[in-house]
């Protein structure tokens, strides 16, 4: 009997110790958690996020000999595709860049201040009062400091409708009378797992906070070996960018990007995605283009189809896989547009 009681007591103490260690979220957690939901690697919900293209890009990397190399996503946002391919081993290194300092501060804190970021997730109540407080921090921008701004941006991204940080209110409304409430997308345990997983890969991630065009103009300063890089550009939407992101491009910025891309060394394999609008198709006239549909959950509105532009030397497959669904990849032609409705190519 005494032996049984001693064993039980030891078991209880042991379990208690393990959960205390787990709940203290120190570095040992970072080394021991495993991802329960391998499809959701990014801790950010991103309007226009392209995690769904990871399979397609991984396949392009494969047929173009870039597997095991470096993946650059210079308009990274939630970086869902980048993380997916890093964890799957498609690329050994990823370079993520976003010009929005708030988004940068999320990634910076996750990679460089992991324990404190995790502690904030654990200790912060997900309530409307807290939402107001975090919004205040977000509004104070750089002055808040990287960790506070990074966490506040993350908090609003997880609690606002559609993940829109500055121009949307909390899920369930300020009076919390909706069907879904403010904490519906804030599963602390799952988010902590994602963050711990990313932190484990920190030596394989380069993070920058620059204008993408400036990086493209001196790419050799960042990556000397051009042969094994795969560049993916997902700039702010031409039509909807203003509503969704802090930083947005005007027509001249989109044109400048197209001009800069045209100057890139032919060796560099790249892929660009955009909203499928005539002005963008015009800017990239002369390149091979295709389009696909993406189901957005932005309010109840569905965005039009998405455009893909391929670099001249890129070998492309005849199938495209989006969200695990494969379909034929059809290259767009001027005639197709004229036939359809006389729309400008």
The answer to whether 205 touches 94, Cβ cutoff 8 Å, is yes
The answer to whether 39 touches 194, Cβ cutoff 8 Å, is no
Non-local (6+) Cβ contacts of 233 within 8 A are: 73, 74, 75, 212, 257, 261, 270, 271, 272, 273
Q: Does residue 69 belong to the site contacting ligand SAM (CB under 6 A)? A: no
- CB of residue 257 to ligand SAM, shortest distance in Å: 8
CB nearer ligand SAM, residue 132 or residue 242: 242
Q: Does residue 306 belong to the site contacting ligand SAM (CB under 6 A)? A: no
Candidates 55-63, 95-103, 120-128, 184-192; binding stretch for ligand SAM (CB under 6 A):
95-103
The DSSP secondary structure of 70-122, one letter per residue, reads EEEESS-TT-HHHHHHHHHTS-SEEEEE-S-HHHHHHHHHHHHSHHHHHHHHH
Among 25, 46, 87, 230, binds ligand SAM (CB under 6 A): 46
Q: Does residue 104 belong to the site contacting ligand SAM (CB under 6 A)? A: no
The answer to whether 92 touches 69, Cβ cutoff 8 Å, is yes
Query: If residue 190 lies in a helix (H) or strand (E), which one and from where to where?
Result: helix 188-200
Non-local (6+) Cβ contacts of 223 within 8 A are: 70, 72, 95, 229
The answer to whether 314 touches 271, Cβ cutoff 8 Å, is yes
CB nearer ligand SAM, residue 40 or residue 172: 40
Q: Does residue 40 belong to the site contacting ligand SAM (CB under 6 A)? A: no
Q: How many residues does the chain have?
A: 345
Q: Does residue 71 belong to the site contacting ligand SAM (CB under 6 A)? A: no
Q: Does residue 107 belong to the site contacting ligand SAM (CB under 6 A)? A: no
- CB of residue 98 to ligand SAM, shortest distance in Å: 5
Q: Which residue is nearest to ligand SAM (CB)?
A: 77
Token duo for residue 298: 């932005």
Q: Measured between alpha carbons, how far is 205 from 94 in angstroms, rounded to an integer? A: 5
Burial of 97 per CB tally in 10 Å (0-12, 13-18, 19+) = buried
- CB of residue 226 to ligand SAM, shortest distance in Å: 20
Among 116, 127, 239, 247, binds ligand SAM (CB under 6 A): 247
Q: Measured between alpha carbons, how far is 193 from 182 in angstroms, rounded to an integer? A: 20
Among 40, 80, 150, 172, binds ligand SAM (CB under 6 A): 80
Among 57, 70, 86, 98, binds ligand SAM (CB under 6 A): 98
Burial of 311 per CB tally in 10 Å (0-12, 13-18, 19+) = buried
- CB of residue 150 to ligand SAM, shortest distance in Å: 14
CB nearer ligand SAM, residue 76 or residue 229: 76
Among 75, 107, 154, 287, binds ligand SAM (CB under 6 A): 75
| Touching ligand SAM, residues 197-236 (CB under 6 A) | 211-212, 234, 236
Q: Does residue 57 belong to the site contacting ligand SAM (CB under 6 A)? A: no
Interface residues toward ligand SAM, by CB under 6 A: 46, 48-51, 74-78, 80-81, 97-100, 103, 211-212, 234, 236, 245-247
């Amino acid at each position: 009997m005494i032996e049984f009681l001693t064993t039980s007591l030891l078991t209880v103490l042991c379990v208690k110790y393990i959960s205390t260690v787990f709940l203290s979220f120190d570095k040992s957690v970072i080394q021991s958690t495993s991802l329960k939901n391998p499809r959701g690697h990014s801790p950010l919900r991103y309007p226009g996020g392209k995690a769904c293209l990871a399979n397609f890009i991984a396949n392009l990397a494969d047929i173009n000999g870039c597997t095991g190399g470096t993946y650059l996503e210079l308009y990274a946002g939630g970086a869902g595709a980048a993380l997916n391919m890093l964890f799957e081993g498609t690329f050994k290194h990823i370079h993520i860049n976003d010009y929005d300092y708030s988004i940068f501060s999320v990634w910076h804190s996750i990679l460089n201040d992991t324990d404190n970021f995790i502690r904030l997730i654990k200790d912060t109540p997900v309530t409307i009062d807290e939402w107001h407080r975090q919004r205040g921090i977000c509004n104070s921008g750089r002055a808040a400091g990287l960790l506070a701004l990074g966490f506040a941006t993350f908090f609003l991204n997880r609690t606002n409708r559609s993940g829109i940080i500055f121009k949307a209110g909390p899920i369930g409304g300020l009076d919390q009378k909706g069907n879904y409430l403010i904490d519906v997308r804030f599963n602390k345990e799952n988010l902590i797992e994602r963050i711990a997983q990313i932190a484990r890969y920190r030596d394989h991630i380069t993070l920058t906070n620059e204008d993408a065009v400036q990086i493209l103009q001196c790419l050799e300063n960042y990556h000397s070996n051009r042969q094994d890089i795969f560049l993916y550009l997902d700039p702010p939407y031409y039509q909807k960018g203003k509503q969704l992101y802090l930083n947005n491009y005007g027509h001249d910025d989109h044109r400048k990007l197209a001009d800069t891309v045209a100057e890139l060394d032919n060796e560099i394999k790249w892929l660009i995605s955009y909203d499928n609008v005539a002005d963008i198709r015009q800017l990239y006239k002369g390149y091979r283009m295709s389009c696909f549909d993406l189901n957005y959950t932005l309010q109840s509105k569905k965005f039009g189809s998405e455009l893909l532009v391929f670099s001249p030397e890129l070998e492309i497959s005849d199938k495209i896989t989006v969200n695990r669904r494969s379909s034929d990849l059809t290259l767009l032609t001027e005639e197709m547009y004229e036939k359809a409705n006389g729309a400008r190519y």
